[in-house]
Amino acid sequence: MFFRKEKKVFPLMIKELSGGPRGIIKNMTFKVRKRDIFGIVGLSGSGKTTLLKLILGLVKKRSGKVSFYGRPLWRSKKLIGFCPQGHSFFEELTVRENILLFGSLYGAKSPLEVGRRMLKELEMEEKLDEPASNLSGGQKTRLNVILSLLHEPKLIFMDEPFTGLDYYNRNLLWNFIKKLRRRGCTVILTTHLLDEAQKNCTKLLVLKEGKKFVYGNVEDIKEKVGLDYVYEVKFKSLSKRALKEIIASCKEEGIDVLNVQIDTLLFGVREEKKRAFQRLLRCYEHEIISSRKPNINDLFLKVVSA
Amino acid sequence: MKLWSLLRKEYLLTMRRKKFIFMILLLPLLIGVVYQLSTNLQPGVEIKVALCNLDEESVDLVEALKERFSVVEVAGECEAQIKEMIREKEAFLGIIIPRDFTRKLEDLNKSEIYLFYDNSNPVLASYLEFFFQLSLRNYENALLSKAGEGIREEVTKIEGLLEAAKLLVGLVGYGTELMDNLNQIQEMLSKIKRMDVTFITEPVVPVKEGAFELKNEKGIGAAITFSILTLFTALLLVSSSVIWDRERKFLLRLRTSGTPNLTYILSKTLFFDLVLTVQFLVIFPLFSSFSWLELNLVSLLVSILVVTSINTLLGMLIGIFSENQGIAILLSLLLTLPFLFISGIFYPSELFPQPLRFISDVFPLSNEMNLLKESMAFGYSLQELKNLNVNLTYLLLFFLLSWLGLRFRH
């Protein structure tokens, strides 16, 4: 009874999944809640795309289990969609021809109808009979997303869907993704746009070198990462020796140096280390440029520097 | 439904790539015309020959040479001049007729003639020698007829003298033994008179007759041309199309959409079978005659389908295992060019040394050619096609390899 309920709440469950080229993904376990917009973030090469491909069975796994509503994911192919990175359609064909081709492959019942609706939602309905090669970069990216959704899947995987999009188009696509969520679709996407992921994703998974570093919503991550304040400090005439001293002292005191840019350092400080941090600053001539609550970028820097 | 969509996609993409259509239609025409021209041994240009004639009496020989070649006469330091002309490509061949050439022949002695050729181009040299021999044939025959005529005249004179001698022997009455000897000499002389003098140069004349009954003689050429054409076209087009599919991440989409690899392979095979059949229809008029009507259409269709499918699948394998288009082209050339030489087109594979013959026998091109000959030239029925099974084995093998390749590499 409990398991049945859990399957309903968490349709996608990943358990101890390992594999990929040179075994980059190690022992990955997490659950995705129904209607989640689940963001996978991490540095380039941290294994985001490989993780998606592993889940989808596109690369060989070494161990682990992926289940969708309690069944192996590959048995539910009609319920899932995958939007690869870049433009994975035929530019020689028109938008309509691409929609019909991909709709047929995914077994969509009325691909043209769904395609038209989505084109309208993504502000490119007039492009239906244009050759895909005539579309702008942003329109091509949007078409790429649409072609993965023609069969109206319950779970959609998107690999870097915002690459190459300007702010307006990104916003348009985020709104579209939110609409998908409202229609009952669960979205799993990889991105390196941390601010936007923080704003729009319901859950985040931060990857570091193929391992799950932190996982949860932004508040969970803040708590797990352990940062209360972020200070941007500019030092006057900071020598290499002085910089080394500051970094060493911070390490000793449990203060995080998140970023170093010549003479400007970004510090992550927990509440209980605030006094120690102020003591440290007194030893050097400095100017505090900003002090604020940490955002996702700061958390990410902490993850990377850890 | 998915198969239909994939076929439609291949069709639309091919139609939108104008250069593809151009290649599909132009290549068969080009190969067909080149094949027709290369099998016709008549040269397509005037063959320039530098001639130095030191023998005033060899008028007939010069005339014979002028009939076949464009003769440029040289005088003076002949040898040096002729060699220079060949080096400068002003003449393909140089000939020096020596001073006593005709006299020697008239005395019924062998006579030398000097040929100069471009030894940096052995193929051209051997063809020129062949054409030279050909131009000499009429002259030699005339020479022999003239010699035969002379011999017959002499023999007639001797026969006259012999008749007179026999009359004398009869009058004097020296006995029968001498008369018998004279009769024998007369018989021998009449044998010499009847002799065909060309017997001296060509004592045995082979009369050729093929062991096979060809229903369509032009089918042999069609089979050779079509098998080379499909191999080239399929390897290049199909491997490119698979690589494009991969680069557009279409193969990823196929896998996530649950489209079976078999459907994908089948769609490519069917579509490119059709494209290659169109190519057959393009070259068909070059080899057409009414004898095509006598062929077995079912076996013709089956053999074309089997051969095009084998080559399509081979192209597919190249596409699957090549990282990019450049490697695919290199692999295609690697598979076509060397095997073109050992497939028996330029030199009979039956006469190769054993290891090379084994490779030739194992490579699909030779077997494809044999199957097409059976259906296009011999007009065999489906049951009579001896090479069908071996080709079907290739078809199954390549189908399986393509399926495994797609499964494990993509």
Is some CB atom of chain B closer than 8 A to the CB atom of A79?
Answer: no
CA distance B236 to chain A (A): 20
Cβ within 8 Å of B, A 54-73: 56, 58
> Which of A18-22, A73-77, B263-267 comes out lowest in average pLDDT?
A73-77
- Indicate yes or no: CB of B256 within 8 angstroms of CB of A88: no
Instruction: Suggest the residue from B256, B263, B264, B410 to mutate for an interface test with chain A (most A CBs closer than 10 A).
Output: B256
Query: Are the C-beta atoms of A193 and A162 separated by less than 8 Å?
Result: yes
CA distances from residue B79 to A146, B57, B96 in whole angstroms, order as listed: 81, 20, 8
Tell me what percent of the residues of chain A surpass a pLDDT of 90: 32
- Nearest residue of chain A to residue B244 (CA atoms): A90
Identify the CA nearest to A170 among candidates A200, A149, A148.
A200
Q: pLDDT digits over B49-89, tens only?
A: 999 999 988 888 898 898 888 999 998 888 999 999 999 98
Would the pLDDT of B212 be above 70? yes
- Indicate yes or no: CB of B252 within 8 angstroms of CB of A93: no
Q: pLDDT digits over B381-393, tens only?
A: 989 899 999 999 9
Chain B residues inside the 8 Å CB shell of A108: none
Q: Is the dihedral of CA B177, B183, B189, B191 positive or negative?
A: negative
Would the pLDDT of A12 be above 80? yes
Of A77, A78, A92, the CB nearest to B16: A92
Query: Are the C-beta atoms of A190 and A43 separated by less than 8 Å?
Result: no
Q: What is the mean pLDDT of chain A?
A: 86
In whole angstroms, give the CA distance from residue A282 to residue A264: 16
Question: What are the structural domains, with CATH classification, of chain A?
Answer: 2-222 (3.40.50.300), 226-305 (3.30.70.3400)
Give, as one character, the DSSP assignment of residue A69.
T
Q: At what angle do helices B219-247 and B297-321 cross, to 10 degrees?
A: 30
Give, as one character, the DSSP assignment of residue B42.
S
Query: Are the C-beta atoms of A139 and A187 separated by less than 8 Å?
Result: no
- Indicate yes or no: CB of B13 within 8 angstroms of CB of A107: no
Mean pLDDT for the stretch of residues A13-22: 87
- Indicate yes or no: CB of A105 within 8 angstroms of CB of B2: yes
Identify the CA nearest to A108 among candidates A148, A80, A150.
A150
Identify the CA nearest to B371 among candidates B213, B227, B216, B217.
B227
Of A78, A97, A104, the CB nearest to B1: A104
Would the pLDDT of B290 be above 70? no
Q: What's the ipTM?
A: 0.81
Residue with token string 């955002």: A295
Residue with token string 């094949």: B35
Chain B residues inside the 8 Å CB shell of A102: 253, 257
Question: What are the structural domains, with CATH classification, of chain B?
Answer: 2-36+215-409 (no CATH), 48-199 (3.40.1710)
Please name the residues in contact with A185: beta carbons below 8 A apart, sequence gap of 6 or more. A35, A152, A153, A154, A155, A156
CA distance A79 to chain B (A): 10
